[in-house]
Structure 1
Amino acid sequence: MPGQGGFGAGQLTSPSGPSGPSGPPSPPGPRLVGRDREVALLEAALDRSAVVLIEGEAGIGKTRLLREFLVSRTGRGLRTLIGTCPELRVPHTLGAVVDAVRDGVVDVAELGLSGLGGALRPLFPEWAAELPAPPEPLQDPTAARHRLFRAFAEILTRLEGAVLVLEDVHWADETTLEFLLFLVSRRPLPVRLVATYRRDEVPLGSTLLRLSSRPPADAHLTRLTLEPLEPGDTATLVSSMLAGEQVSTEFTAFLHERTAGIPLVVEESVRFMLDRGDLVRHGGGWTRRRTDRCEVPPTVRDAVLQRAGRLGPDPRTVLYAMSVLAAPADLATLTAVTGLAQERFAGQAADALGCGLLRESGPGQWSFRHPTACQAVHEAVPSQERRVMHLRAGRALERWPVPPVERLARHFRLAGDAEASSKYTERAAGLSARSGDVATAALLLHDLVTTVALPAEALVRLVAGIQFQTLPGSDPHSEVIDSLRSALATQALTSRQEASVRFQIGRVLMVAGEIEVGRLEVLRAVPHLAVDSPEAARARTLLALPLGKALPASEHLKWLYEAPAVVPSIAPGDRLLRAVEHAFALLMLGEEAGWAAARTIPDEAAGPEEASVVATGHANVGEEAMRWGRYDEAGTRLARSLALAERYGLSGHLDSIAATRAHLDWFTGTWTGLADRTARLLDDDSGVRLKDRCEAALVAGLVRACGGEREEAGELLRFAARDDQQRFEAAAALARLALRDGDVDEALRLTEEPAAITVDGGIWPRAVEVAPVRVSALLAADRDADAARLAAAFARAVGDRDAPAARASVVTCRALLAEALGPAGDAEALFAEAAQAWGTLPRPYDVLLARERQARCLLVSGRQDAGVRMLSEVSRQLAELGARDDAARSALFLNARGWDARKARGRGRPSYGDQLSPRELAVTRLLARGRTNRQISEALTVSTQTVASQVKSAMRKLRVTSRTSLAIRLVELGLVDEQTQPAAGDE
């Protein structure tokens, strides 16, 4: 039995016995944890003649404890005889003792047994030639059994200092138990004895109870009772199965609650989740994709159902009822759920309560030993019987003085009572939200609308209350959309009811990123919604958002200003939501009025429900402030959103805030640690929303592009383009890479639609990153007139708005035109103006790019000294920022024209024209010192495939064809110590 124990017959392999299958399991078996005290007691007990009884429930780790202890004693002269008592319909008399002796004795002839040994011939026919002659038969069975016991005791005595281990003696036959009593009564004790058993499976009146309760006074009895693991030990156990990596606190708490700290259940649950791909790296450790439900591992399920299968029909009904209640229950409630008559229940309950799966959790209260067993039994209840029991449970709990609304919601939902389930779910969600648990409120509503066929009006009301950002998983939307579409297809609805359902379908689709399909549903709903309803206002606000295949800004604004006025009767929550969405739409459309609307969003909230809306509002305003170039405002808004999310436990907001904060830090040049922060969001493809992962991918792609890792950057940027709000900036970044590689056609293709939507459509906040790249691509294609038209259209769209990023982008476009069309002096002045404009934001990377172009203009105009000094300084500052690819480009430009970038710069870290990323530089430096790819991968903690890719990329960039040439080139460029000898490599 692998791991820490078993639900069925345990199997302990002797340390000196045959080994198991070759090769370690995957994942590896866990460490023995939380058993230091027990190991010490076992050590002390077996250092003298003693009897050790180890008791504990199934899976608690009795076998594992013994195995670890015995392996640790191998080589110290400890002879171990191991036998197991299997669960058989007809127990094999003395079978475990026979197995232990047979496997533990190498040559019985060497033991020099007396004539008593002949009594063993019937049990050991294979030893017939070595055993003494059989003794005279005895007519008295008791005397015959006593002689047999003496013969066994003689063998054990001749094995000087041996340990007899019998496992699962709760299943032992009566003769075996009597033999154990015989052994412990002998003086001196013939053998050190260790027995394991499950206390809950020892029948009343069993001889085993005499052994444990009334041992001889000088028998040195040691009793070890194994308890479940504490949460900290559970985390250590799981970590040991994951190569020692950290396990998140949330996952540890979830798993410990589900498994009750029973080691085998923990182990099997982790294996099952790994097999299913349910465990992912997140935030520097391991966690689970979804923490709302945990599937039962097949090994645990089968063991639980095996136990349940031993019960008769009525006791099994009691067990089923306990699984339906899924919480500690008193006997009166349990009786009501079974549907059994009182007297019939009283006669059968004891068998169910004594099956080993249940425990007394309090005075008169019973529950399952761990939730996984409860779930396994619940899934085995026939479906019709399960529905009836849930209905009985609901009706029983309704009679409680304080009805538990969340449990009532669950019971009536699983019973199929839509009306009662809806009523109690709304109450439970309201209680959760008011207590600060917004995530549970959303989960309750989500479960209801996706599992119960509700009337359309109730369905719409409940869907409107779901805060999707608090739900676990990357796609909490599709099942809700399916439920809404089902209501649309199967229920007879009025036109207004149909419009309400369609509006919710469209809204959820747009939240899920299906912009165009969602917009069509909203458009179909608008004409039939009540004119002064909150739905009508929200529908028009959604249509005003310039997402997907956006219309001209004027068309979107038309929807926004058509929205009905706020009527006095509107609920405060709806009024706040309307204000947040209205401000966001205005800012997305580039309207200055959006800032006045944003100032109406409060800084504080009256409770968690309001806090979620306010936190979303500040985060949205912060995102738009970033696009406008108001970076102080963006930072302040994001900080407010984060403070509210942390104060009210709104964990679903944290990833969005983190992604936008990383984006802002990219713009402001705060690049330290940015790669690690974005990696955390990218590693989890289930727990983080697609929008947030795309924003993280955008930032990570931009960082890698600056470091010269163009292939990796391209993959990240293409992923980022899957999100509507990141696709324009991602397209601009991809086009910039294409221009650097000389692929003008690709740059034009990438920027054509984004430019048409943002610049031509007047949605200028999304054009800040696109316009300069599009202008550069048009100029490179000799389409000067188109470039000039685009720059002019962009400038008109921005106008005199207080949008620093857009105004700096406009100046950059003009500078690019001047550089291409001349004269150089005008371009130089415009690039200087652009650098100053970017610097006020601040955006240091764009400042340096503008100054790089300014320096080139100085060189073209003949002002070589000033141009060389400026370009050298720009190269140094780009390298310090982390933009090594850009730094290398500047240095190459100077070196190719005969200017020494190192001398011109005069200080700072040299850049010799290589275009290596930091990772490539680290890899190639080790390569130059003679390290192999494997040695480099171990030194840098990366895979050998990554090392090979970086070496290949470095060879391409430095235009060499072998590892030796690469090492020599590094020395020539001064990227390794001059004394370092190039490594020998294959040419």
Structure 2
Amino acid sequence: MCWSCDAPPISTPFPLGTLIEALSPTPPDGVRLGRLAGALRPLFPEWSDFLPEPMPPTESAGLERHRLFRALDELLRAMGAHTVVLEDAHWADDTTHEFLLHLATVEVDTPVRVIETWRNEERPPRELVARILRIASGSTGRVIRLGPLDLAGTERFVASMLGGLVASPRVAGLLHRRTQGVPLLLEDLIRTLHDRARKSPGEEHWSPAGIAALAPPASLRESVTSRMDRLAPSARLVAWALAVLSEPASVPLLSVVTGLDHQATSTAVDELVASHLLSLLADGEVSFRHALVLDAVTEEVPLGERSRLHARAAAALGALPAPPVVQLARHLKQSGDAEGWARYAEEVADLALGRADDRTAADILLELATAVTQSPTDLTRIVSKIPFPVFRSVDEYRVVVDVLRSVAQDRALPRLEQGRVRWQLARVLIMADRMSEAAEETERVIPLLADDPVLAGQAMISLVHLSWPNWELATRAEWLRQASQLLANRDPASELHLVTDLATVLLRFGSAEGWTEAAKIPTHDIAVRDRLTVARGLGNVAHCALVWGRYGTARATLAAAVDLASTYEYLRLSTGLEAMGLHLDYLEGSWDGLRQRAAALVSAGRGAVGERLEAEIVEARLLAVEGDFAEAGRRLRTMLDHPASQLGPELVMETRAGLAEVAIARGEPAEALSLTDEPFRLIQHTGVWLWGGDLVRTRVQALLLTGRNAVARDIVDSMAVGLAETHSAATDAALLSCRAMVARADGDLAGARELHHRAAAAWRGLPRPHHELRDLEAAARCLLDDGHGAGIAELRDVLNGYSRLGAVVDGERVVEVLRTVGVNARPPGRRGGRTGYGTRLSPREREVLRLVAAGETDAAIAARLFKSLNTVHSQVKSAKRKLGVSTRAELARAAADLVEEDGDQRLDSSGG
């Protein structure tokens, strides 16, 4: 038998305690021992009935020890032990080591093999190790030195702990860098990550930040503390200095930071290397063996000593010909020198922006702008660099606004400087969703920017966006003309920013020239300084494409914006893009689980209110098509509490159109007219019919239901004139639908049917299946009204379409029409919210699951499938629930099993 025992980490272990505790508390059955075994009675008092009486004592302690060793030897051999393994031998007492040495060297016919394992940094006493190594170097034994795992070995180790799932190279690489491949530390970290992910599922635990934030395991902290306590004071000081530096360092640098002379520092370094805390690097520098040791030592540095060492490190690094600014700024800040930190902080932020670490840059720039007194020129420059979309709360915007307001109120400030500060203030107010304040500030700032035409032009374009409810066509055209003149000689360095502004304002207000400007926005090979501008610009263009009915363009542009936003962690922008993606799914008829996804985004509360409004509209409109008119109306009316400038013209029109549709469905066309009065006047006032496709269509329907056919006809004619120079697929389809409704009201059933079919074809081209089905329904009803029974078959097809889509109310309306002509039909199920595929995987979940099985991260899946990152998170979470798993690893294994075992059939069939 193989007998194994672990030495416990006891600071003063009792003699032979490890071996004694490893034996059973009851004596072995069928074993007969000689008289010599009486020496074991003091060790095993509970075996008194089993062991013989002890032999008379001797006067020699050595002889007594010899008797004890022979008795233990006899016991082990009688029990049939052929191998003894002592784990963690560095914790065992000297007597245990001496007995195992005796066991391994005694000359007998049936030798017992002895295996001891220990860590170099905590090995047994040197004299004993030397004796063991001398024996092991002979023919009967050998020493096996186990080094750390390489990257490939780390990947296999992680996979073995995750049940065979292949770890992504990214995760394995992060863990390897954190532990340098030490298996014991890898095991501790993986268990910690797995436990955290099980308790609160989410990929953030396995992200670079999540892995870097892992504290050293308790066992490592205890080991480091023990070794640090045994060090000479000078060696401990050098270890603290290296921990404060957080980078490999040379002996001369450590000497300067600690204040020790060169010889004392060298001696201390030798002691630290011998204690296995430090490693010597090829260039003569030293570093901690791995990041976890660094963290453990850092925890031990006294606060007072830490500040002093940071100050000395800053002085040492600042004296170099090319100071490392990132390290220098950190040391100055940690030493309490805020003024010194400010001298380098902006340069550090620029470096962070250059390596796409926008969160770090934002934190630094925010602190520079708000916690350090700045000149107006410096303040506007610093604020202009802040990547605001990574902000996590409105408080971060608020402090920037307060500082800019304070500086702008300085009456001694030159006119142009005041204009630049106030323009930055207006921009921050826009991003903070404080639109009315932003409009006031922008209008106030334009005269102040007379000597800076580029900024003045940008401010004018912004004012056009902010003031759309109040300006008629001529006013808006005049402001855009002035802006264009100011921007005629624009600086090429600001070209991209102006391109995105111009593209957005032109497209938003119905000018097809905006597509020419939009085509100039790059989607590949984007300069670092432009990535935020591009992400915003692409998001704006995607939204405009959605309004114009260019859904393919919207989908592709949105995917490019999502990729940038997720890569650089533009949190607020990501939320807005996700809401836009939900809106696009709604329009294209991808309703499976859509209301739940929209509700999740709304309830999550991420981002500012403006970023979630599209998701709220989607949720409300789906409630309406499912028949929950009361809740849908409540949600939509709540949205109208937001200022029109915050909603934007498109969402104002859609919200009102949604409320009017609910009123018509309830049989209240007069209420629908009242709801559409104000927004329709806005369309007439501004001259932008592009916004009004749904709203005008619903208003025309309400007018016809109330017998105001002539007014409806005039509106349709006005719409046709207004759209003469703005041909968008969405409004062209809406215009055809309106013409068809007027023709039917005038009694021209054949003409109406033809127009409804043309409208349906136009909707299909977008695609927008809900509207397509409504026009096909209307065309079939024209046929029925004209006495043609063929309309029944067409209505059945429409009913099937509504059922597949999940349009409960529309389906019930068709059922009632069929019943009036004697056809019994089954309405779509009213399920209190479409549950989609229930416990089965939907096609979209299957699509995501295949990539999960291939080891892709959620971010990679989002980019590959042109989805938002949060949509992928939602679908992964849903798949976990349906497959009954709780972790990412379990989900990947389940998906891999489905693909491998059933040739993907099970995945396909699970979707219905």
Fold match (TM-score > 0.5): yes
Alpha-carbon deviation of 1:86? 1.9
1:360-379 matched pairs, under 5 angstroms: 360-378=280-298
- Which of residues 91, 95, 120 is equivalent to 1:199? 120
1:589-604 matched pairs, under 5 angstroms: 589-598=509-518, 601=521
Please give the alpha-carbon distance, in whole angstroms, between the structure 2 residues aligned to 1:514 and 1:292. 37
Is residue 2:361 matched to residue 1:445?
yes
Please give the alpha-carbon distance, in whole angstroms, between the structure 1 residues aligned to 2:203 and 2:691. 33
What residue in structure 1 maps to residue 726 of structure 2? 801
What residue in structure 2 maps to residue 913 of structure 1? 827
What residue in structure 2 maps to residue 897 of structure 1? 820
Is residue 2:42 matched to residue 1:122?
yes
Contact 2:366–2:386, Cα closer than 8 Å, also in 1? no
What residue in structure 2 maps to residue 227 of structure 1? 148
Deviations 1:664-695 (A, max 9, x none): 576466x5999799899969969999977776
Name the Cα RMSD after superposition: 5.4
Deviations 1:852-907 (A, max 9, x none): 12222332x33332432432343445566x45647844652454224548xxxxxx
- Which of residues 193, 202, 208 is equivalent to 1:280? 202
Alpha-carbon deviation of 1:367? 2.2
Please give the alpha-carbon distance, in whole angstroms, between the structure 2 residues aligned to 1:430 and 1:485. 24
Alpha-carbon deviation of 1:800? 3.8
- Which of residues 774, 779, 786 is equivalent to 1:849? 774
- The 3 A distance-change label for structure 1 pair 837 and 858 is same
What residue in structure 2 maps to residue 390 of structure 1? 310
Contact 1:778–1:787, Cα closer than 8 Å, also in 2? yes
- The 3 A distance-change label for structure 1 pair 891 and 172 is same
Contact 1:509–1:518, Cα closer than 8 Å, also in 2? yes
Alpha-carbon deviation of 1:778? 7.5
| 2:70 alignment partner AA | R
What residue in structure 2 maps to residue 908 of structure 1? none
- The 3 A distance-change label for structure 1 pair 85 and 247 is closer
| 1:267 alignment partner AA | I
What residue in structure 2 maps to residue 870 of structure 1? 794
| 1:205 alignment partner AA | R
Contact 2:660–2:676, Cα closer than 8 Å, also in 1? no
Please give the alpha-carbon distance, in whole angstroms, between the structure 2 residues aligned to 1:373 and 1:512. 43
- The 3 A distance-change label for structure 1 pair 604 and 919 is closer
Alpha-carbon deviation of 1:532? 0.8
Alpha-carbon deviation of 1:376? 4.8
Please give the alpha-carbon distance, in whole angstroms, between the structure 1 residues aligned to 2:676 and 2:145. 73
Is residue 2:132 matched to residue 1:211?
yes
What residue in structure 2 maps to residue 485 of structure 1? 402
Alpha-carbon deviation of 1:321? 2.1
| 1:173 alignment partner AA | D
Please give the alpha-carbon distance, in whole angstroms, between the structure 1 residues aligned to 2:488 and 2:836. 65
Is residue 2:32 matched to residue 1:112?
yes
Alpha-carbon deviation of 1:181? 1.6
- The 3 A distance-change label for structure 1 pair 484 and 720 is closer
Contact 1:500–1:529, Cα closer than 8 Å, also in 2? yes
Q: 1 or 2 for the larger relative contact order (CA 8 Å, sep ≥6)?
A: 2
- The 3 A distance-change label for structure 1 pair 126 and 849 is same
What residue in structure 1 maps to residue 104 of structure 2? 184
Please give the alpha-carbon distance, in whole angstroms, between the structure 2 residues aligned to 1:715 and 1:280. 33
Please give the alpha-carbon distance, in whole angstroms, between the structure 2 residues aligned to 1:255 and 1:322. 22
Please give the alpha-carbon distance, in whole angstroms, between the structure 1 residues aligned to 2:192 and 2:681. 53
Alpha-carbon deviation of 1:923? 6.0
> Quick check: 577-586 or 830-839, which moved more?
830-839
Q: Which runs of 5+ in 2 are unaligned?
A: 842-877, 885-912
Please give the alpha-carbon distance, in whole angstroms, between the structure 2 residues aligned to 1:448 and 1:737. 49
> Quick check: 660-669 or 254-263, which moved more?
660-669
| 1:454 alignment partner AA | V
Alpha-carbon deviation of 1:198? 1.5
Please give the alpha-carbon distance, in whole angstroms, between the structure 2 residues aligned to 1:711 and 1:150. 90
- The 3 A distance-change label for structure 1 pair 801 and 568 is closer
1:649-688 matched pairs, under 5 angstroms: 667=587, 671=590
- The 3 A distance-change label for structure 1 pair 251 and 624 is farther
| 1:122 alignment partner AA | P
- The SS at the match of 2:514 is helix
Please give the alpha-carbon distance, in whole angstroms, between the structure 2 residues aligned to 1:91 and 1:545. 77
- Which of residues 488, 496, 521 is equivalent to 1:576? 496
- The 3 A distance-change label for structure 1 pair 920 and 617 is closer
| 2:763 alignment partner AA | W
Is residue 2:11 matched to residue 1:92?
no
Please give the alpha-carbon distance, in whole angstroms, between the structure 2 residues aligned to 1:676 and 1:264. 42
- The 3 A distance-change label for structure 1 pair 320 and 836 is same
Deviations 1:525-552 (A, max 9, x none): 65655641654444443333249x9544
Total equivalences in the alignment: 826
> Quick check: 917-926 or 189-198, which moved more?
917-926
Please give the alpha-carbon distance, in whole angstroms, between the structure 1 residues aligned to 2:245 and 2:48. 59
Contact 1:732–1:769, Cα closer than 8 Å, also in 2? no
| 1:86 alignment partner AA | P
Please give the alpha-carbon distance, in whole angstroms, between the structure 2 residues aligned to 1:220 and 1:676. 70
1:32-71 matched pairs, under 5 angstroms: none
What residue in structure 2 maps to residue 144 of structure 1? 64
- Which of residues 369, 372, 396 is equivalent to 1:454? 372
Alpha-carbon deviation of 1:173? 2.3
Please give the alpha-carbon distance, in whole angstroms, between the structure 1 residues aligned to 2:233 and 2:453. 57
- The SS at the match of 2:144 is strand
Please give the alpha-carbon distance, in whole angstroms, between the structure 2 residues aligned to 1:481 and 1:143. 83
- The 3 A distance-change label for structure 1 pair 526 and 254 is farther
Is residue 2:190 matched to residue 1:267?
yes
- The SS at the match of 1:359 is strand
Please give the alpha-carbon distance, in whole angstroms, between the structure 2 residues aligned to 1:464 and 1:344. 50
- Which of residues 213, 221, 233 is equivalent to 1:294? 213
Please give the alpha-carbon distance, in whole angstroms, between the structure 1 residues aligned to 2:34 and 2:677. 100
Please give the alpha-carbon distance, in whole angstroms, between the structure 2 residues aligned to 1:606 and 1:924. 43
Please give the alpha-carbon distance, in whole angstroms, between the structure 1 residues aligned to 2:266 and 2:819. 96
Contact 2:575–2:607, Cα closer than 8 Å, also in 1? yes
Q: Which runs of 5+ in 1 are unaligned?
A: 1-77, 902-910, 927-939, 947-987
Is residue 2:656 matched to residue 1:742?
no
Contact 2:404–2:422, Cα closer than 8 Å, also in 1? no
Contact 2:773–2:802, Cα closer than 8 Å, also in 1? yes
Alpha-carbon deviation of 1:154? 1.7
- The SS at the match of 1:223 is coil
| 2:783 alignment partner AA | L
- The 3 A distance-change label for structure 1 pair 502 and 840 is same
Please give the alpha-carbon distance, in whole angstroms, between the structure 1 residues aligned to 2:170 and 2:260. 40
1:696-715 matched pairs, under 5 angstroms: none
- The 3 A distance-change label for structure 1 pair 269 and 413 is farther
Task: Report the TM-score when normalising by structure 1.
Answer: 0.69
- The SS at the match of 1:151 is helix
Contact 1:681–1:693, Cα closer than 8 Å, also in 2? no
- The SS at the match of 2:239 is helix
| 1:448 alignment partner AA | I
What residue in structure 1 maps to residue 80 of structure 2? 160
Which structure: greater helix fraction? 2
Contact 2:33–2:51, Cα closer than 8 Å, also in 1? yes
Please give the alpha-carbon distance, in whole angstroms, between the structure 2 residues aligned to 1:756 and 1:211. 96
| 2:257 alignment partner AA | V
Deviations 1:143-185 (A, max 9, x none): 2222222222222112213654433221322222222222221
Task: Report the TM-score when normalising by structure 2.
Answer: 0.73
| 1:359 alignment partner AA | S
Deviations 1:805-846 (A, max 9, x none): 123324434555666787766754653453354355454442
Please give the alpha-carbon distance, in whole angstroms, between the structure 2 residues aligned to 1:491 and 1:510. 17
- The SS at the match of 2:116 is strand
Please give the alpha-carbon distance, in whole angstroms, between the structure 1 residues aligned to 2:458 and 2:63. 93
What residue in structure 2 maps to residue 319 of structure 1? 239
- The 3 A distance-change label for structure 1 pair 605 and 264 is closer
- The SS at the match of 1:767 is helix
Deviations 1:909-935 (A, max 9, x none): xx8433378986866999xxxxxxxxx
| 1:96 alignment partner AA | T
Please give the alpha-carbon distance, in whole angstroms, between the structure 2 residues aligned to 1:809 and 1:315. 80
